[in-house]
Amino acid sequence: MTTSAPAGVVLDEFSYDDDIVRKFLFATLIWGTVGMVVGLLIALQLANPAFNLGLEFTSFGRLRPLHTNAVIFAFAGNAFFCGAYYSTQRLLKARMFSDGLSRFHFWGWQLIIVAAALTLPLGLTQAKEYAELEWPIDLAIAVVWVAFAWNFMGTILRRRERHLYVAIWFYIASIVTVAVLHIFNNLSLPAGAFKSYSLYAGVQDAFMQWWYGHNAVAFFLTTPFLGLMYYFMPKAAEGPVFSYRLSILHFWSLVFLYIWAGPHHLHYTALPEWASTLGMLFSVMLWAPSWGGMINGLLTLRGGWQKVVDDPILKFFVVGITAYGMSTFEGPMLSVKSVNALAHYTDWIIAHVHTGALGWNGFLTFGMIYWLAPRLFQAPLHSKKAASLHFWIATFGIILYVVAIYSAGVTQGLMWRAFDETGRLTYPDFVETVLRLMPMYWVRVAGGSLYIAGMLIFSWNIVQTWRKRPARYDVPVVRAAALRAPEPSQAAPSPGLLGGLAFHRRWERMPVLFTVLVTVAVAIASLAEIIPTFLIKSNVPTIASVKPYTPLELYGRDMYIREGCVNCHSQMIRPLRYETERYGEYSKPGESVYEHPFLWGSRRIGPDLAREGGKYPNLWHVRHFANPRELSPRSIMPAYPHFATAPIDFDVLARRVDAMAMLGVPYGEAVTNAIPMARAQAAEIAADIEATGGPAGLADREIVAIVAYMQRIGRDIATTGTVASRGTAP
């Protein structure tokens, strides 16, 4: 310890809790592998629908959220906790506030992950991206997160280091903001043990979701990892951080600007244009603050570049930080409306997030754990060669993955908007635009497989290192002086240094004030967009002809949610000529007023369904769900034969309609009469299916509910047919 104590000062003796760090480290290895393998499986499903395995539990729509939740919250989450528990204790010169809370955090988080892995394949989902988990799990997340926050703040208050280092600032911002985001996006009304409806509807729900979704990327995948970077990069590089001033400016600008940027996920949708514009501009303004982090990370290596050649840890950090720089340049670019018009709904977005996830989050995690393993297991890393091999395999894997998926995204985006000389869509058949991507989807499978191969080499290497651990871990005793108020004059910066930054040095000594300031920055930005979105009536002009779904249609919509259809089908036609030509009249804000939750979608692996109602006869849907390839020979949609055999659980409808009514949906007589109404409509549809030559006896089967929903979507503003006019006919 370098702290020199003046004579007469009593030093506290304590030790750091590294056992909790080891626990999170192993959880990172296990869940990382699981999450990536599920990713590989869904990549295979897009290349060949046979990989849906013919089971409802393993269809793409149910597994895609499992992949995203596993890699974000289980892999990156555990990695963040691992690094944060290690670095926080050392940066604050204090053991964690409570070992009990640390264990509660660890085991609680792992249980939540197990619950996610069980419920998502069962189709229990809120249908909001990265917030799919149903309300009981959401409550558990809130409790565990608060325990983590309490433990963390308690440690800060007991610290023996007067100033908070920049890594701690980033941890504070992450912990506070994730709590706020999680709670407000998940507000929902339960309609069963694992069933709920979002409190918000349509435009507002979409806004809240992407306020959350974008900032989950910001405050779960970016700021925590910047915090880790600020600790582990100078440690591994054995050099000082490039610029303290840059740390201050880029920290505060990131925290303040990020929150506004969410609406860039909703360009050209029914979201009011002012929100969309703010989302774009704040994203553009995020470019420099994001690059501030990259500069501070990379320039910490100045004068030490030769070390990168033979240190796999630094290699991982350099490529990881570079990937961060690339995706944070691309993010602002994608948020520009005209660029977004091409990229939205395509694989371009998937490529963008994988540059960030595989490059930034993955590589930072790998570098960090290679650095930690010898220190935590008190044995040299088993094989430096294997670590280098991991680096090269994973880098090559990322390149294959993103190059293939970028070209898939641009290809499909251009095909969607292509017109021929007669003014018709060049590719009117949607399937054609999907099939063109197949070679690229196979390259993605190859790239992803390489990345997973690297993950396995990594895990093996770490486990081998662990096996060489001593019989008992040595627990060094640390000595440091407790903080005594008031601070001695040492806090005053030497003249010339830190000019103009003395105010910030003061904030760094006051963690409560610091946390309050972060919260205020986040809250101002949030409220500035949330309040007008909810309060200004003209944002969502009402359309008199838009009515609530019938009880049977609601049941069908819940099936749509359960199967994760929203992962492949949007229900939001943009006001762009090539969209309305393909799908029909563009979607209006007033059409979504009863949509709890909104189902606008974010990716079109299949066509948009916003005007699906009435497009095909009932029998078409019956056959299409049983086997899509019978009607559209090269379709990659999973088959849903179980819809024709599974019985409708009419009993749940009373409670669901009731919940919807409580949310303000004008259900009228359906509140007391939901079940008979549903039975009558089901009988009617079943009779039509039979009369047109389809199978008999479907009146109590789920297929009629989903058909009822399909036939209703987007019809309320239509007068005839699928191409709606702005009429007000009932």
Region 393-432 residues binding another protein, contact defined as CB under 8 A? 422-425, 428-429
Nearer to another protein, 44 or 254 (CB): 254
Of 281-289, 348-356, 459-467, 599-607, the window that binds another protein (rule: CB under 8 A) is 281-289
Cα separation values, 610 from 7, 341, 543, Å: 75, 18, 16
> Which of 128, 182, 623, 715 touches another protein (CB under 8 A)?
623
CB 75, min distance to another protein, A: 26
- Note the helical H segments in 158-222: 166-185, 202-216
> Can you give the three-state secondary structure of 252-296, one letter per residue?
HHHHHHHHHHHHHHHCCCCCCHHHHHHHHHHHHHCHHHHHHHHHH
Selected range binding another protein among 37-45, 460-468, 655-663, 715-723, rule: CB under 8 A? 715-723
Question: Least distance (Å) from another protein to the CB of residue 481?
Answer: 15
Nearest distance from C-beta of residue 359 to another protein, angstroms:
21
196, 184, 346, 344: which is closest to 280 by C-alpha?
344
Query: In this chain, which of 285, 453, 483, 652 binds another protein, going by CB under 8 A?
Result: 285
Task: Retrieve residue 512's tokens.
Answer: 């409560």
- The minimum distance between CB 687 and another protein, in angstroms, equals 16
Among 140, 146, 189, 295, binds another protein (CB under 8 A): 295
Reduce the secondary structure of 523-550 to three states and give it as a string. Answer: HHHHHHHHHHHHHCHHHCCCCCCCCCCC
Q: Which of residues 474-493 bind another protein (CB under 8 A)?
A: 493
Query: How many of the other CB atoms lie within 10 Å of CB of 729?
Result: 11
Beta carbon nearer to another protein, 627 or 673 = 627
Q: How far is the CB of 389 from another protein (least distance, A)?
A: 30
Pick between residue 4 and residue 472 the one whose CB is nearest to another protein. 4
Instruction: Tokens for 653, please give them.
Output: 């409808």
Residues 22-81 that bind another protein (CB under 8 A): none
Which DSSP category does 220 fall into? I
Q: How far is the CB of 502 from another protein (least distance, A)?
A: 12
Nearer to another protein, 509 or 547 (CB): 509
Of 523, 614, 652, 655, the one binding another protein (CB under 8 A) is 614
Which lies closer to another protein via its Cβ, residue 424 or residue 467? 424
Segment contacting another protein (CB under 8 A): 147-155, 451-459, 660-668, 721-729? 721-729
Instruction: Give the burial class of 696: count Cβ atoms within 10 A of its Cβ; 0-12 exposed, 13-18 middle, 19 or more buried.
Output: exposed
- Check residue 72 and report its DSSP letter: I
Other beta carbons less than 10 A from residue 309's beta carbon: 8
- Could you tell me the two tokens for 348? 């371009």
| Contact positions with another protein (CB under 8 A) in 135-194 | 161, 163, 165-166
Q: Which of residues 303-362 bind another protein (CB under 8 A)?
A: 303, 332, 337
Q: How far is CA 583 from CA 571, 602, 609, 615, 628, in A?
A: 10, 16, 8, 10, 19
Q: Could you tell me the sign of the dihedral formed by the alpha carbons of 154, 157, 162, 164, in that order?
A: positive
d(CA 54, CA 643): 13
- 3-class DSSP assignment, residue 37: helix
248-267 residues near another protein, rule: CB under 8 A: 249, 253
Phi, psi torsion values for 96, nearest 5 degrees: -55, 145
Verify binding: residue 720, another protein, rule CB under 8 A: yes
CA-based max dimension of the chain: 97
Spatial separation of the C-alpha atoms in residues 437 and 406, rounded to whole Å: 11
Q: How far apart are CA 494 and CA 491, in angstroms?
A: 9
CA atoms within 13 A on the CB side of 368: 33
468 vs 577 by CB, closer to another protein = 577
Of 14, 617, 626, 673, which lies in the binding site for another protein, with binding defined by CB under 8 A?
617
For another protein, which is the closer residue by CB, 35 or 511? Answer: 511
- Total residues in contact with another protein, by rule CB under 8 A: 74
Least separation in angstroms between CB 309 and another protein: 20
Contact criterion met (CB below 8 Å) for 586 and 580: yes
Q: Do 670 and 551 touch, CB atoms closer than 8 A?
A: yes
Stretch in the footprint of another protein (CB under 8 A) among 75-83, 392-400, 561-569, 619-627: 619-627
> Which listed residue (52, 68, 87, 119) binds another protein by CB under 8 A?
87
Written in H, E and C, the secondary structure of 415-481 is HHCCECCCCCECCCCHHHHHHCCHHHHHHHHHHHHHHHHHHHHHHHHHHHHHHCCCCCCCCCCEEEE
> Mask of contacts with another protein, 659-698, x by CB under 8 A?
---------------------------------xx-----
Q: Are 17 and 99 in contact (CB under 8 A)?
A: yes
Residues 92-111 that bind another protein (CB under 8 A): 93
Question: At its nearest, how many Å lie between another protein and the CB of residue 149?
Answer: 22
How far apart (Å, rounded) are the C-alpha atoms in residues 366 and 228? 12
The answer to the question of residue 11 lying near another protein (CB under 8 A) is: no
Residue 50: both structure tokens together: 């046979």
Cα dihedral 60/62/63/65 (nearest 10) = 120
Q: Are strands 478-481 and 196-198 parallel, antiparallel or unpaired?
A: unpaired
Place of tokens 């961060």: 324
Candidate ranges 510-518, 645-653, 655-663, 718-726; the one touching another protein (CB under 8 A): 718-726
Query: With binding defined as CB under 8 A, does residue 497 bind another protein?
Result: yes
Interface segment toward another protein; rule CB under 8 A; list 18-26, 124-132, 570-578, 662-670:
570-578
To another protein, the closest distance from the beta carbon of 212 in angstroms equals 23
Tokens of 723: 């191409």
CA angle 707, 708, 710 (to 5 degrees): 60
Q: Smallest distance from the beta carbon of 286 to another protein, in angstroms?
A: 8
Q: Is 703 in the site for another protein (CB under 8 A)?
A: no
Nearest approach, Cβ of 318 to another protein (angstroms)?
Answer: 18
Give residues with Cβ within 8 angstroms of 222, minimum separation 6. Answer: 254, 258, 290, 324, 360
Q: How far is the CB of 342 from another protein (least distance, A)?
A: 15
Cβ proximity to another protein: between 104 and 287 the closer is 287
Select 62 or 715, whichever has its Cβ closest to another protein.
Answer: 715
With CB under 8 A as the contact rule, the residue among 184, 287, 442, 460 that binds another protein is: 287
Nearer to another protein, 289 or 454 (CB): 289
Q: Which of 380, 575, 668, 676 binds another protein (CB under 8 A)?
A: 575
The answer to whether 275 touches 337, Cβ cutoff 8 Å, is no
Nearest approach in angstroms of CB 722 to another protein is 6
Output 335 or 515, the one with its CB closest to another protein.
335
Interface pick for another protein out of 292, 367, 590, 714 (rule CB under 8 A) = 292
What tokens were used for 90? 């050392």
Residues 6+ apart with CB under 8 A from 467: none
Binding of residue 619 to another protein (CB under 8 A): yes
**Region from 199-207, 214-222, 289-297, 639-647 binding another protein, contact rule CB under 8 A:** 289-297
* Closer to another protein by Cβ: residue 485 or 497: 497
Task: Work out whether 284 is an interface residue with another protein (CB under 8 A).
Answer: yes
Segment 190 to 249, residues that bind another protein, using CB under 8 A: 230-231, 234-235, 240-247, 249
When asked if residue 281 is in the footprint of another protein (CB under 8 A), the reply is yes
In the complex with another protein, the residue whose CB is nearer, 189 or 498, is 498
Binding to another protein, residues 541-560 (CB under 8 A): none
